Amino acid sequence: MEKYARQAISEGLKAAEELHVAGDSELYRVLNLHYNRNNHIEVPPNFRFVVEQTLREFFRAIQGGKDSEQSWKKSIYKVISRLDDPVPEYFKSPNFLEQLE
């Protein structure tokens, strides 16, 4: 996320609102591949929105020089944690991984 925010700044973007994450973007694909390697799980409808908001938070923090502070990412995590969806019950099942096969 940080890498993509820094890249946007280096490309001359001035406002976080200029950042958009499409369902076919590299960032979306990389995150989905990382967390959903075999595409066993349907991507939640809110995922793209949360990715975009997270990218914007990183962008604002870096643009504002907050990345020079030791624990600069903590405030970002607090903001994006409010966007979390509840964990679905089927994830809590002890047989969850077996159900995917």
| 12 in Cβ contact with 6 (< 8 Å) | no
Percent of the chain past pLDDT 70, that is, above it, reads 98
pLDDT above 70 for 89: yes
pLDDT above 90 for 12: yes
Name the CATH architecture for the domain at 1-99. Orthogonal Bundle (1.10)
36-78 pLDDT, tens per residue?
A: 888 878 888 899 999 999 999 999 999 999 999 999 999 999 9
- Give the domain ranges of the chain: 1-99
The secondary structure of 31-43 as a DSSP string is HHHHHSTT--SPP
Left (φ > 0), alpha (ψ -120 to 50) or beta: where does 39 sit? Answer: left
